Chain A
Amino acid sequence: MSTIAETAPRDQTRRRTRFDGWRWGGRIFLVFMLLYTALPMIWMLITSIKSGFAAMQFPPQWWPDEPTLASYQKLLDPQNSVGQDFLRFFWNSLYVSTATTILSVIVAVPAAYAFSRFTFPGRNFLFFAVLLRNMFPAVIFLVPLFILMRAIGLVNTHGSLILTYLTFGLPLAIWLLKGFYDNIPVQLEQAARIDGATRFQAFILIVMPLSAPGIIATAIYSFIGAWNEYIYAYTFLSKNEQLTLPVGIQRFFSENTTDFPGLMAASFMMSVPVVVLFLVLQRYFVRALTEGAVKH
């Protein structure tokens, strides 16, 4: 007995010191990752408030001598041709992303529900066929899709982008939502149907509200994917007034290669909507991943 009593405290202190080692390692690691993540973004912001001349200094000005919002004013000024373009790109991106998001939800929700609830023949095959879409790069589909879009008259329209973006978002959306529906007891729907609801009403009135976090997560994912997409927009659209932000900015700055403050300001403003959207709704996203994708 006495030996145990003697060794126990020593054992505990040893464990505590080792534990602190882990914790300190974790802290240092997090600080390193924070710097890696944040410094480039901070540098983007600092550059964006410099004048074109101030940006082109060596050694660089760590903080601009004369901070200026000129780049932002130029981009947001509807009187100026740069501003007109930027605002138009912005609206184009917003339109394409919103339409994609709405359609994704409309298509993914019933599909995920069916994959979760029904046992029709070919269910697993179709489910994995949908998931396999994630495997293939945009470029494989680029040429034939371009020809296809030309054939159905969608080239140089936003419709071509919406249709293609839909397929990016769908696999993950269906997968996430299926996980959600798997976790909603089927008895709830049965109860609703016995209480007088049709299958559709049971779905709309009972299941849909319960899967709201999953739907929100799906929507964020679709929106961000569409907002940031570059390669299809770059290939399908050629008219200046239709470009989305990523392509528009690239076109614009390939003509003004030295306007780094303008480029950084544009990059910042392009990032604001999705970052805000994501930060506001991120808890749904993590929850959806936990419940939908990971927990099985």
Chain B
Amino acid sequence: MAHVVLKDLIKTYGSFKAVNEVSLTVNDGEFVALVGPSGCGKTTTLNLIAGLIPITSGDILIGDRVVNELDPKDRDIAMVFQNYALYPQKSVYMNLAFPLQMRKLPKDEIDKKVREAARVLDMTQLLERKPRELSGGQQQRVALGRALVRDPAVFLMDEPLSNLDAKLRVQMRSEIKRFHQDLKATIVYVTHDQLEAVTMADRMAVMNGGYLQQYDSPAQVFAHPANMFVASFVGSPAMSLIPLQASTANGGIVLTSAEGWSLALSQPNARKVQRATSGKVVLGARHSTIKLHKSAVAGAIPAKAYTVEPTGDVTFVQAFLSGAIVNISVPPTIAVAPDEQIWLEFDQERIHLFDGETEMALQAN
């Protein structure tokens, strides 16, 4: 296993910048998820690491080796594709054997390794089948087996679960996580599903528009999103972002809505807002940190419930504040009807504040 380093990685297509000065380090044995909406450059980044497309500038290191110009076959990597990319004309056995044949291993060793991989992935009885005779989950497992059979320095996975149905996806998610823990493998995993990234990865690299937005552990990304994009992308339902105007009143700082209500900030939050480039501030709050009251409470903001979605163990309520959608989760014991008058209370300890101009998170110091 080896670490992977990206230094100022750039990929342009004509004038379009697909990947923009991305720098990050994947430690030996670490599981890193590249996550972002489609077109954010995450798959391009993965393909650059794999060597499937040439880089425009920057450096890629696998282990301590600069691999910028190396062919994919010489990079000591394995890759799992979204559509599995199993060779349709070859049996499962031959699919697993192919990478070993390419490395000119002796026949008996190939056989030993293929059978070992098949045993680990519990598909010994499938070895003679053709890929089209397998279910989606089985195909996925073969693809995984083909990657694992030759013990590469790095595993690259390109949305390996997105073609599976929801139930299977959850199951395979834990299998891949298990696989990572057992092998202590270095894994770079691309997904558009932030939930996959949060649940599986040691660290997640959130990308948007070709730029790396934030690179940190899921807990840190969740607790301290670096900017409004990350805040809205990570977490489900998304963090509510309410645009407000900051002003001084009574020696403290107050956020005022165009709708007329205002929110007096606590001391630490006021210090953050003082660093904003203008008076425009965006208030961010996750659904679970907003308290819903059915009657007026001091400091709570009046709103009207718009939709109510009971999911069983929790009920999501949507309301509009300052023109933004606000998600609130309440226990199913609290009955809220659409169009009912409600009051929302923000937890000053757990709100996020963003600069309305730069969209960056406001820091206290």
Decide: B85 and A210 in contact? CB cutoff 8 A: no
Decide: A194 and B103 in contact? CB cutoff 8 A: no
Given that A190-B72, A194-B79 are known contacts, is A185 also in contact with B102, CB under 8 Å in the complex?
no
Interface segment among A39-47, A129-137, A195-203: the answer is A195-203
Q: How far is the CA of A206 from the CA of B88 in the complex (A)?
A: 9
The verdict on A281 contacting chain B, using a C-beta distance below 8 Å, is: no
Give chain A interface residues in 148-196, CB to chain B under 8 Å: 185, 187-188, 190-196
Chain A contact surface mostly: helix
Partner among B88, B98, B156 whose Cβ is within 8 Å of the Cβ of A192: B98
Decide: B50 and A190 in contact? CB cutoff 8 A: yes
List chain B residues, Cβ under 8 A from A193.
51-52, 71-73
Bitwise interface map of A from 184 to 228 toward B, beta carbon under 8 Å scored 1, else 0: 010110111111111101000110011000000000000000000
Partner among B71, B82, B85, B102 whose Cβ is within 8 Å of the Cβ of A188: B85
Name B89's closest neighbour in chain A (CB-CB): A209
Decide: A196 and B89 in contact? CB cutoff 8 A: no
Q: How far is the CA of A188 from the CA of B85 in the complex (A)?
A: 5
Decide: B78 and A194 in contact? CB cutoff 8 A: yes
Report the tally of A-B residue pairs with Cβ distances under 8 A.
Answer: 61
Residue among B51, B72, B98 having the largest count of chain A Cβ atoms under 10 Å = B72
List chain B residues, Cβ under 8 A from A190.
47, 50, 52, 72, 79, 81, 85
Number of interface residues of A (CB under 8 A): 18
The verdict on B136 contacting chain A, using a C-beta distance below 8 Å, is: no
List chain B residues, Cβ under 8 A from A201.
102
Task: State the Cβ distance, B361 to closest chain A Cβ, in Å.
Answer: 37
Partner among B82, B89, B99 whose Cβ is within 8 Å of the Cβ of A195: B99
Q: How far is the CA of A206 from the CA of B89 in the complex (A)?
A: 8
Q: How far is the CA of A188 from the CA of B51 in the complex (A)?
A: 15
Q: What would be 8 A-B contacts, judged by CB atoms less than 8 Å apart?
A: A185-B83, A187-B83, A191-B146, A194-B72, A195-B98, A197-B73, A201-B102, A209-B89
List residues of chain B with CB under 8 Å of any chain A CB. 47, 50-52, 71-73, 75, 77-79, 81-83, 85, 87-89, 98-99, 102-103, 146, 150, 156
